[in-house]
Amino acid sequence: MTRLTGSALRLTVHIGENDTWHHKPLYTEIVHRAHAAGLAGASVFHGIEGFGASSLIHTSRLLSLSEDLPVAVVIVDTEARVREFLPQLDELVTEGLVTLDECEVIRYIGRDDTQARTQDRTRGRGKAGTKGKKSL
Q: What is the pLDDT of residues 16-47, one digit of tens each?
A: 999 999 999 999 999 999 999 999 999 999 99
User: Residue 87's Cα: distance from chain center in Å?
Assistant: 18
Give the H/E segment covering residue 68: none
pLDDT at 71: 96
Residue 91, φ and ψ in degrees, nearest 5: -75, -40
Q: Is the pLDDT of residue 133 over 50?
A: no
Question: How far is residue 103's CA from residue 7's CA, in Å, rounded to a whole number?
Answer: 6
pLDDT band at residue 135 under the 50/70/90 scheme: very low
What's the mean pLDDT in 104-129? Answer: 60
pLDDT at 5: 83
Query: In this structure, are residues 8 and 41 in contact, taking their beta carbons and an 8 Å threshold?
Result: no
Tens-digit pLDDT profile for residues 46-96: 998 888 877 777 777 666 556 788 999 999 999 999 999 999 999 999 999
∠ Cα 130 135 136 (to 5°): 160
pLDDT at 61: 67
pTM to 2 decimal places: 0.74
pLDDT at 2: 57
pLDDT at 99: 97
Tell me the C-alpha to C-alpha distance, in Å, between residue 108 and each of 3, 16, 52, 65: 6, 29, 32, 38
